[in-house]
Amino acid sequence: MSMEDYDFLFKIVLIGNAGVGKTCLVRRFTQGLFPPGQGATIGVDFMIKTVEINGEKVKLQIWDTAGQERFRSITQSYYRSANALILTYDITCEESFRCLPEWLREIEQYASNKVITVLVGNKIDLAERREVSQQRAEEFSEAQDMYYLETSAKESDNVEKLFLDLACRLISEARQNTLVNNVSSPLPGEGKSISYLTCCNFN
Amino acid sequence: MADLESLEKLAGVSQPSEGVGGARCSEISTDLIRSLTELQELEAVYERLCGEEKVVERELDALLEQQNTIESKMVTLHRMGPNLQLIEGDAKQLAGMITFTCNLAENVSSKVRQLDLAKNRLYQAIQRADDILDLKFCMDGVQSALRNEDYEQAAAHIHRYLCLDKSVIELSRQGKEVANKAEENLLLVLGSDMSDRRAAVIFADTLTLLFEGIARIVETHQPIVETYYGPGRLYTLIKYLQIECDRQVEKVVDKFTKQRDYQQQFRLVQNNLRNSAPEKIEPRELDPILTEVTLMNARSELYLRFLRKRISSDFEVGDSMASEEVKQEHQKCLDKLLNNCLLSCTMQELIGYYITMEEYFMRETVNKAVALDTYEKGQLTSSMVDDVFYIVKKCIGRALSSSSIDCLCAMINLATRELEADFRGVLSNKLRMGFPATTLQDIQRGVTSAVNIMHSSLQQGKFDTKGIESTDEAKLSFLVTLNNVEVCSENISTLKKTLESDCTKLFSQGIGGEQAQAKFDSCLSDLAAVSNKFRDLLQEGLAELNSTAVKPQVQPWINTFLSVSHNIEEEEFNDYEANDPWVQQFILNLEQQMSEFKASLSPVIYDSLTSLLTSLVAVELEKVVLKSSFNRLGGLQFDKELRSLIAYLTTVTTWTIRDKFARLSQMATILNLERVTEILDYWGANSGPLTWRLTPAEVRQVLALRIDFRHEDIKRLRL
């Protein structure tokens, strides 16, 4: 597949405290790997994965950012062009959950108002060390109008689902936008039955 | 008693001379005696046996005589037994003692040997120390001699220096690491004196010296380490050197932060960006510090790259036979050392602050350029476009000079934001003020645009100091802005190309790892996409100009077509020939209006505008034609008029306008027909190269404009 051969291109940026497993989520999704002893990310990492959703090629540009404070000004510069943000915390680390409001303030300040934000609680393979209950996280995400998903990059739980559901949402959002912006000229391929609405299941 | 038996045997053996036949049996066997039958023979045997008996008896007597002595010997022997056991134990003890003594001697002698070695080394060390002292003495001597202008003395000292063992000089270099500390601290002190030339980058220079010092140590020690420890050990050496390096870097950066008020400046900038600052920082004041920080980072990157190259090539040699796992483990160690060292972390922190400050610098300077915008007569654009792009280029260029790809990408992202949101907003607001028209109906528009001006300047948080003093100036402002927008679009494309070529050099050095190029390309393509946004804005502005300035003017001119009768006789037709009733004046008006735009718009925009104008003329003219009525000569007149108009418009546009006027030309053809049925010569199979742009219904509609054509004939047509 050539570089330009895609129907949609979306930018997804992962943010959240250091050590919550952002890089592992990205590696698991893009390379099917779980690198143990992953060092801290420096600045930002960049991965591309093209997926097919209902016959449409969707190119996902995934920006994996460093969680450490000293890289904040670098990572913030990527918020504006992001179509989606994956805000990640570690279910075994109360602190990473408590920092979420701070991250939301950053999103408010720097991201586009059309951005889709998904809250992800990672490391559910360490259930015995859980510090943040699912209910608490769900209530929080509901109050903030975000989608919530629990994942394990190690066991590969919900990782595919996270990115594919997000891609589905981005597609339907993109379609809605073009419909609103220019009603008279439908997208090529718009005549197809609108099955993408049923392909996603957000919990 | 077994012992006795053996003793008897022993005695028998010991006296072979006495017992002549003692050891042997009698010569006469029992069988022989039994076989004897003769008396004589018996007697003879008997005699011999008696003789033998006597011998045996004698032997027995002798043996019995010995019994006493043997017994007494046995007793002595019995007494000797325990003594022998004692002797054996003593012997064993003695042997153990001898071994122990031997080992002890061995130990002692090896210790002595070690001591000897140590003593030798000590002597060497003392010798070296003496030599070094000599060296120092020589140096001091040379210096003082030179000071006293005692050149002979100085020469003597130099001679002595030259006599010194070369290895002393070599050795003293090993202490350089420590010496470096002094050297570098010295420079720090010197820094305060050097208030002029390199003062602005003194901390970057200090770091450079430190890195160069370490690089020199690595250079000189690498062969030694390789010779004595083998390849693959450089990592260990550098690991220890890096600890010292980190210590020194910490000192330098601490001093830098204090002396340059780095944290303080950052905090002020942060507050300024959040609009909560008590005092505003003058962006120009940040200029030197931003340059220094990027230079510091560039030096660190260079140094870290040097270490990475050296260590990995050393590992490569050392690991040539190693397993993949070992290689990966080594790679991990290397990454860990270079990524986690204090130097890396400190620089990342400094760069983090730098980006925020550079963003502020860019934003504030752009705002200033906008506020100080001036327009010079004869120019198409105003000063702010060049200024803004100069600033953006400078900021991105400075980020690039840090050699950090993440820093560069962040600045490209921020520049994209600045251009797309802020600066495009400024231009968009200016265009929204509209192009003031001069006709009566637009006095109202003038009022609304004045209100718009008020609104947009309030939204921007400041008043446009220049204001709009007259409609002429407002017109000019609009046109200049259009040019500005176009140049912005061009400049962004140029900026993208420049950055691309600037960075190929950086990437060819392998900076920033494998992803660097992909990251950079992605950020740059976002920047390039802003060019299209400016192009869209240009189109919006042109559409606005066309609909509010061109159309209201052109429409009345076209409408006068209606007041010219096209139902004319020969005489009028000839009269029209001499005194053109419409088209010449219309062309003149168009020319006048467009000349105003031609002078003040860039060729590209002017072209787009004339294109819009010709479309407008074609559409509007078609409308009035459909409202008119014609006879044969009137049709001919219209055909002449249309040809003149097309001929004129062809001269003012760079591309063909025939297409836009295709429908009108076809209408003119229809209006020129002799009879209704003549249309069939041009229609359907007879159309030849002509492609009809009119539908059959429209053809009938146009035919019906001819008052001399009968409706039934038109209806009867089969099209």
Give the pLDDT confidence of B153-212 residue by residue, as tens digits. Answer: 777 766 666 665 444 444 344 444 544 554 555 455 455 545 556 777 888 888 888 888
Q: Are A24 and A38 in contact (CB under 8 A)?
A: yes
| Separation CA B272–CA B280 (nearest Å) | 6
Give the pLDDT confidence of B94-138 residue by residue, as tens digits. Answer: 999 999 999 999 888 888 888 888 887 777 777 777 777 777 777
CB contact under 8 A, B406 and A74: yes
Q: Is the pLDDT of residue B647 over 90?
A: yes
What's the residue count for chain A?
Answer: 203
CB contact under 8 A, A61 and B413: no
Beta strands in chain A (DSSP E): 8-15, 44-53, 56-65, 84-90, 116-122, 147-150
Q: Is B444 exposed, middle or buried (0-12, 13-18, 19+ CB in 10 A)?
A: exposed
Whether A43 has a binding-site annotation, put simply, is no
- The residue ranking higher by pLDDT, B593 or B440, is B593
| Separation CA B570–CA B451 (nearest Å) | 56
Give the pLDDT band of residue B473 (cuts 50, 70, 90).
confident
Whether A153 has a binding-site annotation, put simply, is yes
| pLDDT in the model for residue B197 | 61
Give the pLDDT band of residue A199 (cuts 50, 70, 90).
very low
Q: Are A67 and A85 in contact (CB under 8 A)?
A: no
Nearest chain A Cα distance for residue B631, angstroms: 41
Q: Are A124 and A157 in contact (CB under 8 A)?
A: yes
CB contact under 8 A, B416 and A72: no
Interface test with A, best of B290, B406, B521, B527 (most A CBs within 10 A): B406
Interface test with B, best of A42, A61, A62, A72 (most B CBs within 10 A): A42
Contacting residues of B for A80, CB less than 8 Å apart = 413, 416-417
- The residue ranking higher by pLDDT, B387 or B83, is B387
This prediction's pTM: 0.73
CB contact under 8 A, B405 and A77: no
3-state SS assignment for residue A44: strand
Give the pLDDT confidence of B616-632 residue by residue, as tens digits. Answer: 999 999 999 999 999 99
CB-based contacts of A200, cutoff 8 Å, min separation 6: A165, A168, A169, A172
Pick A44's closest partner by Cβ from B336, B345, B519: B519
Q: Are B383 and B372 in contact (CB under 8 A)?
A: yes
Question: Using CA of residue B678, residue B681, residue B683, residue B684, what is the dihedral sign?
Answer: positive
Neighbour tally for B641: CB within 10 Å: 23
Give the pLDDT confidence of B329-351 residue by residue, as tens digits. Answer: 999 999 999 999 999 999 999 99
CB contact under 8 A, A46 and B518: yes
| pLDDT in the model for residue B68 | 87
Give the pLDDT band of residue A32 (cuts 50, 70, 90).
very high
> How many percent of chain A have pLDDT more than 70?
86
Contacting residues of B for A39, CB less than 8 Å apart = 335-336, 339-340
CB contact under 8 A, A77 and B409: yes
Q: Are A141 and A147 in contact (CB under 8 A)?
A: yes
3-state SS assignment for residue B256: helix
- The residue ranking higher by pLDDT, B479 or B686, is B479
Q: Is B505 exposed, middle or buried (0-12, 13-18, 19+ CB in 10 A)?
A: exposed
Give the pLDDT confidence of B575-604 residue by residue, as tens digits. Answer: 998 888 999 999 999 998 888 888 889 999
Choose the weakest-confidence range: A29-38, A92-101, B146-155, B370-379. Answer: B146-155
Residue B606's identity, in one-letter code, is: Y
CATH (one of 2.60.220.30, 3.40.50.300, 3.40.50.720, 1.10.630.10) for A6-174 = 3.40.50.300
- Mean pLDDT (whole number) for B79-90: 88
Q: Are A159 and A168 in contact (CB under 8 A)?
A: no
Residues of B with CB under 8 A from a CB of A: 332, 335-336, 339-340, 344-345, 348-349, 351-353, 355-356, 359, 404-407, 409-411, 413-414, 416-417, 515, 518-519, 522, 526
CB contact under 8 A, A44 and B518: no
Q: Are B220 and B175 in contact (CB under 8 A)?
A: no
Token duo for residue B609: 């505008």
Q: Which residue in B has a C-alpha nearest to residue A61's C-alpha?
A: B522
Write down the residue that tokens 């006296």 correspond to.
Answer: B15
Mean pLDDT of chain B: 83
Q: Is the pLDDT of residue A31 over 70?
A: yes
Contacting residues of A for B351, CB less than 8 Å apart = 74
3-state SS assignment for residue B283: helix
CB contact under 8 A, A74 and B352: yes
Contacting residues of A for B406, CB less than 8 Å apart = 42-44, 71, 74
| pLDDT in the model for residue A34 | 92
| Separation CA B256–CA B293 (nearest Å) | 10
Neighbour tally for B275: CB within 10 Å: 7
Q: Are B616 and B554 in contact (CB under 8 A)?
A: yes
| pLDDT in the model for residue A3 | 52
Q: Left if phi > 0, otherwise alpha if psi is -120 to 50, otherwise beta: which for B510?
A: left
Contacting residues of A for B276, CB less than 8 Å apart = none
Pick A39's closest partner by Cβ from B335, B410, B413: B335
CB contact under 8 A, B406 and A44: yes
- Mean pLDDT (whole number) for B53-69: 91
CB contact under 8 A, A45 and B410: no
Residues of A with CB under 8 A from a CB of B: 37, 39-40, 42-46, 48, 61, 70-74, 77-78, 80-81
| pLDDT in the model for residue B28 | 72
Contacting residues of B for A42, CB less than 8 Å apart = 339, 344, 348, 406
Token duo for residue B614: 């010709």
Closest by CA to B304, choosing from B262, B258, B342, is: B342
Whether A21 has a binding-site annotation, put simply, is yes
Whether A122 has a binding-site annotation, put simply, is yes
| pLDDT in the model for residue B12 | 44
Q: Which residue in A has a C-alpha nearest to residue B417's C-alpha?
A: A80
Cross-sheet strand order for the sheet of A84-90: A44-53, A56-65, A8-15, A84-90, A116-122, A147-150
Interface test with A, best of B308, B404, B413, B527 (most A CBs within 10 A): B413
Angle between helices B234-259 and B324-340 (to 10 degrees): 20
Whether A159 has a binding-site annotation, put simply, is no
Give the pLDDT band of residue B146 (cuts 50, 70, 90).
confident
Choose the weakest-confidence range: A37-46, B113-122, B590-599, B644-653. Answer: B113-122
| pLDDT in the model for residue B164 | 56
Give the pLDDT confidence of B699-718 residue by residue, as tens digits. Answer: 999 999 999 999 888 988 88
Q: Are A89 and A20 in contact (CB under 8 A)?
A: yes
Q: Is the pLDDT of residue A193 over 80?
A: no
- The residue ranking higher by pLDDT, A156 or B450, is A156
| Separation CA B392–CA B424 (nearest Å) | 14
When mean pLDDT is compared over B152-166, B210-224, B264-278, B611-625, the highest value belongs to B611-625
Mean pLDDT of chain A: 87
Give the pLDDT band of residue B468 (cuts 50, 70, 90).
very low
Whether A23 has a binding-site annotation, put simply, is yes
- The residue ranking higher by pLDDT, B130 or B258, is B258
Nearest-5° Cα angle at B526, B521 to B529:
120
Give the pLDDT confidence of B409-424 residue by residue, as tens digits. Answer: 999 999 999 999 999 9
Contacting residues of A for B404, CB less than 8 Å apart = 43
Neighbour tally for B344: CB within 10 Å: 18
Q: Is the pLDDT of residue B363 over 90?
A: yes
| pLDDT in the model for residue B627 | 94
Whether A161 has a binding-site annotation, put simply, is no
Q: Left if phi > 0, otherwise alpha if psi is -120 to 50, otherwise beta: which for A107?
A: alpha
| Separation CA B641–CA B577 (nearest Å) | 10
Contacting residues of A for B409, CB less than 8 Å apart = 44, 74, 77
3-state SS assignment for residue A57: strand
Q: Are B340 and B242 in contact (CB under 8 A)?
A: no
Give the pLDDT confidence of A122-158 residue by residue, as tens digits. Answer: 999 999 999 999 999 999 999 999 999 999 999 999 9
Q: Is the pLDDT of residue B469 over 60?
A: no
CA A88 to chain centre: 9
Contacting residues of A for B408, CB less than 8 Å apart = none
CB contact under 8 A, B355 and A74: yes
Closest by CA to B423, choosing from B376, B386, B378, is: B386
CB contact under 8 A, A71 and B348: yes
Q: Can you list the pairs that B300-303 forms with residues at least 24 positions away whose Cβ atoms lie under 8 Å?
A: B300/B207, B300/B211, B300/B343, B300/B344, B300/B347, B301/B347, B301/B402, B301/B403, B301/B404, B301/B511, B302/B211, B302/B403, B303/B211, B303/B214, B303/B215, B303/B343
Q: Are A51 and A163 in contact (CB under 8 A)?
A: yes
CB contact under 8 A, A74 and B407: yes
3-state SS assignment for residue A33: coil
CB contact under 8 A, A77 and B353: no
| Separation CA B573–CA B641 (nearest Å) | 12
CB contact under 8 A, B410 and A46: no
CB contact under 8 A, B339 and A42: yes
| pLDDT in the model for residue B350 | 97
Q: Is B594 exposed, middle or buried (0-12, 13-18, 19+ CB in 10 A)?
A: middle
Q: Is B522 exposed, middle or buried (0-12, 13-18, 19+ CB in 10 A)?
A: buried
CB contact under 8 A, A78 and B413: yes
Contacting residues of A for B344, CB less than 8 Å apart = 42
N-term to C-term CA, chain A: 33
CB contact under 8 A, A74 and B410: yes
Q: Which residue in A has a C-alpha nearest to residue B517's C-alpha?
A: A46
Q: How many CB pairs under 8 A join A and B?
A: 59
Q: Which residue in B has a C-alpha nearest to residue A62's C-alpha?
A: B519
B184-205: burial string, b at 16+ Cβ within 10 Å, e else: beebbeebeeeeeeeebbbbbb
> How many percent of chain B have pLDDT more than 90?
45
| Separation CA B494–CA B496 (nearest Å) | 5
